Structure 1
Amino acid sequence: MRHFPVFLDLSGRRVILSGAGECALAKLRLLLKTEAKVAVYGTDPHEGVARLAREGRIVLVERPIAEGDAICAALLYGANEDPVEDARAVAIGRRAGALTNIVDNLDDSQFITPAIVDRDPVTVAIGTEGAAPVLARDIKRRIEEMLPISLGTLARIGQGFRAQAARLPMGRVRRAFWSAFYFERGPRALAEGEEAVRDSLDALLEETLHADDTPGHVALIGAGPGDAELLTLKARRLLHEADVIVTDRLVGAGVLELARREAEIIEVGKIPGAPSWKQPDIDALIVAKAREGHKVARLKGGDTAIFARLDEEIDALDAHGISWEIVPGITTASAAAAALGQSLTKRGRNKSFRILTGHDVDGFAEQDWRDLAAPGATAAIYMGRRAATFLRGRLLMHGAREDRAVTAVENVSRADQRILPTTLIDLPDMLSREGVDGPVILMYGLAPRAAAAALPELQAAEA
């Protein structure tokens, strides 16, 4: 990070623009949202700049900036659209102790102005270090769509109520109070006017002060196959609200970046063949954290309902009277099929689709091998890497073709995803040859769309 983001208090402070043309006018539109005292130096001013001066919103000096003009200035912009004049202006500003910026000149600027979403007093700044202004504008557009105009009104009212809210204890109780105001009570009351919003704050404060200790709650969240963009909106919200996050090893790092900085993050992932958390210990952990009154996010890779030990954790929570909710996630099988460009079911190919595990509590998992070996059968096989030789033997024994299509997808949906098409007979050797050691799902009966179209044996395997 070359540029460290800060919010600078400009109330009553001087900001200088050298240049009075269209470039300066564009900067003024942003600077005049602040409480700064803005002065513009330049000849032949743009009509928009001159109008702002006539309205008394800026001071306009119709000459080039000179030594001494930037004394006590906090910021100085070179907006002359003339490299020589901008360099001269910036030198004057730096000698006066101001931070300086030349518009569209990253290397010679001491600071940059980010793209801004203004919901005063809520301000969102987006910067790309000058690398991708178009990207910053697109992010700005998307955030503006997410944040209603009324958010600023709620924030101003909430800001004025902070002294009263200080009666609440720091931490979870106070966060819950403000969450209830900004996301539930406040927006509903705003439809009746600002006075109704203030009344709702008073009522909510009294309710919170006299409420019994808030019981803990556990959200059992499917975190998807790894890509944070595949997380559901509900999962994102609950993750951000969580005090404690209990996460599997396979949850993507980008997903955990969405947590609050002060949240406690505990990794309880199971590592094949290595010392790992036992399920009863995980159950005890989430129960203990919830009984302390925390909001707990239990993150599971993929979907919560597919090979995720969901029932055992729910039973533990029920046994202690702890409330819970399930948030489904995109399962790895769906994401892997998307990576292949294939559907999980296809008219004329398969009327059913199976989700299997290569291992269960007793070791390699037995299946209905005869049905799986039939032409057109498809399945997603979780935890199948170490069981590959066993799977191949069982399927061939029950009549599956040696050239049956199988695709291994390693690190599904992540930046290091690998798609490895093969055939049933070559499956174990391919996994060894390619050094597959990350989380992998085997898509039995499915090949990548391009491979299926190009290779006759794979087309035959799907016939």
Structure 2
Amino acid sequence: MNHFPIFLNTSGRRIVLSGGGDAALAKLRLLMKTTAHISVFAPHADDQIKAWADAGKLTLIPRPMAPGDAMCAALFYAADEDAAEDKRAAAIAHADGALVNIVDNLADSQFITPAIVDRDPVTVAIGTEGAAPVLARAIKADLEERLPTSLGTLARIGKAFRKAADALPFGRARRDFWRDYYFNAGPKAFAAGEDAIQPALDDLLADHLMRDTRKGHIAFVGAGPGDPELLTLKARKALDEADVVIYDRLISPEILELARREATMIDVGKEAFGPSTPQDTINALLVEHGATGAQVVRLKSGDATVFGRLDEELDAVTSAGIDWHIVPGITAASAAVASIGQSLTKRGRNASVRFLTGHDTKGFADHDWKALAAPGEVSAIYMGKKSARFIQGRLMMHGIDPDTPVTFIENASRADQQVLATTVAEMEPTLTQAGLGGPALTFIGLTPRAAQTALTDLPLQAQEAL
């Protein structure tokens, strides 16, 4: 992020613009939504700019910029549509201490103006750092359709009511009240007429003041394999309401970004045969935060019910008398097998599939290797990368066909996903030589479809184009 987004208070401050043509008009239509004092320097101004000046909406000075013209200005826009004049005016404004924007010149601008969705006092700003203005406009158009025109009125009345709402305890109680207002009571009152909104607010506050303090709750949420688009709607809702998020090492940064900005984020990462947070510590954190009344999300990669030690955590919070619920997620095996164009079961090949772990609390995990080595069997092995040589040896000992296909899928569903196709006989040293660094699923008995194999050999940009 090269441009850090902020909302600048322009009330009563100066904004200076140099230019009088189409570029100046476009900027002024936006700037006049503010309560700033706007000064325009233009020897030849458009008739619309002159009309705005005659109406007292801005000050028009019919000459080019001169030193000192941008003194005390918060912002300056060079919109002369002439590179030399823009450069000259910008240098003056910069010397006068103003932040400078040169229209259509990102490299020499100190700030950029985003696309804006205006539901005053609610403002949504969309920026692409100049890389994709067409995309910013498309997002703006989408948001314009989604955000009702009533939103500004509700926010304006809600803003005036904030001091009264301070009677509610800080934190969860206040958030519940405002959520109820903006998404339930407020819109219903607006439909009856703007005059009905204030009485509805008074009634809503009285109702929330009478409510018991909300008890702590734990949501055990499956975050899926890493692609944020594979997160369920129920998981998104839980993250939006969480006071505390206790998350695993494999949760992608993109998913963590979806949590409330004010939420307390606690990393309890574990790594096979490496540094790990003890399970007892995780259990204690769940109980500690749940007991304070916090809404806690225990965020687990994949599906929370698959190799996630969920039962131990459920026992801990149940023993402490804390309520909980489980939000299923897409397990990594489902996402991984989809990426190679295969299915986990197939008529005439296998009527079942085994989900296995490559290691347990005692080391490499032992399984029914004879059954796994039978022809046509399909197994999805989680956390099996470090135990690959052990798995290979056990399968060979129990008579598996050495040419049985094996597929390793690293970082399933993510942008940096890699697919490695081999056979049982070549599992090692093929895996070691590939140097996969991320978490990987191992499929015994499955190989990528031919079309999918060709796709994974293409550069990422070409894959996205397809």
TM bin, normalised by shorter chain, reads: 0.7 to 0.9
Deviation sequence 1:132-173 (CA, Å, 0-9, x none): 434433444455455444332222121111111222333333
Counterparts of 1:452 and 1:202 in 2: how far apart (Å)? 60
- When residues 168 and 100 of structure 1 are mapped into structure 2, their CA distance, relative to the original with a 3 A threshold, is same
Residue 463 of structure 2 corresponds to none
Partner of 1:150: 150
Q: Which residue matches 2:277?
A: 277
Q: CA deviation at 1:348?
A: 5.6
**How many matched pairs?**
453
Using a 3 Å threshold, how does the CA distance of structure 1 residues 75 and 392 change in structure 2: closer, same or farther? closer
Could you tell me how far 1:51 is from its partner in structure 2?
4.9
Give the TM-score of the pair, scaled to structure 1: 0.86
1:270 to 1:110, Cα distance in 2 relative to 1, 3 A? closer
Give, in whole Å, the separation in 2 of the partners of 1:48 and 1:334: 60
How far apart are residue 286 of structure 1 and its match?
Answer: 0.9
How many Å apart are 1:48 and its aligned residue? 4.3
Question: In the TM superposition, what is the alpha-carbon distance from 1:278 to its structure 2 partner?
Answer: 3.8
CA distance in 1, matches of 2:315, 2:15: 62
SS at structure 2 position matched to 1:373: coil
Counterpart code for 1:161: F
Q: Which residue of 1 aligns with 2:88?
A: 88
- Cα deviation for residue 218 of structure 1 reads 1.0
Deviation at 1:275, TM superposition (A): 5.4
Post-superposition shift, 1:329?
1.6
Whether the aligned pair in 1 keeps the contact of 2:19 and 2:41 (CA below 8 Å) is yes
Determine what percentage of the aligned residue pairs are the same residue: 57
Residue 190 of structure 1 pairs with residue 155 of structure 2: no
Within 5 Å, give how 1:167-178 maps onto structure 2: 167-178=167-178
Q: How far apart are the structure 1 equivalents of 2:424 and 2:54?
A: 80
The answer on 1:23 being equivalent to 2:35 is: no
Where in structure 2 are the equivalents of 1:389-404 lying within 5 Å?
A: 389-396=389-396, 399-404=399-404
Alignment match, 2:367: 366
Matched position secondary structure for 2:306: coil
- Please give the alpha-carbon distance, in whole angstroms, between the structure 1 residues aligned to 2:25 and 2:220: 52
The CA deviation string for residues 5-39 of structure 1, in whole angstroms up to 9 with x for no partner, is 33222223332322111111111221122122333
Q: CA RMSD in A?
A: 3.0
Matched ranges for 1:195-344 at <5 A = 195-274=195-274, 276-344=276-344
Moved more, 21-30 or 3-12: 3-12
Q: Distance in 2 between matches of 1:80 and 1:437?
A: 53
Distance of 2:400 and 2:144 partners within structure 1 = 55
1:378-419 deviations in Å (ceiling 9; x for gaps): 332212224434433444455532111111112223344322
Equivalent AA in structure 2 for residue 326 of structure 1: I
- In structure 1, the gaps of 5 or more residues are 455-463
CA distance in 1, matches of 2:393, 2:417: 27
- Is 1:121 the counterpart of 2:136 in the alignment? no
Code of the residue aligned with 1:427 in structure 2: it is M
Superposition deviation, residue 324 in structure 1: 1.7
Question: Which stretches in structure 2 are left out of the alignment for 5+ residues?
Answer: 455-466
Question: Could you list the per-position Cα deviations for residues 38-79 of structure 1 after superposition, in whole angstroms to 9, with x for gaps in the alignment?
Answer: 333324444544554465533444443445544543322111
- Give TM-score scaled by structure 2 length: 0.86
Within 5 A, what are the aligned runs for 1:414-425?
414-425=414-425
CA contact (8 A) 2:340 2:452 kept: no
Counterpart of 1:158 in structure 2: which amino acid? G
5 Å-filtered alignment, 1:64-103, equals 64-66=64-66, 69-103=69-103
Q: Which moved more, 1:35-44 or 1:301-310?
A: 35-44
In structure 2, distance between residues paired with 1:354 and 1:20: 71
Letter in 2 for 1:364: A
AA aligned to 1:388 is A
| CA-CA distance at 1:262 after TM superposition | 3.6
Q: Which residue of 2 aligns with 1:11?
A: 11
Distance 1:72 1:436 in 2: 57
- Match in the other structure for 1:448: 448
Q: CA–CA distance in 2 between the matches of 1:232 and 1:282?
A: 24
Does the CA contact (< 8 Å) of 1:370 and 1:395 recur in 2? no
Match of 2:460 in 1: none
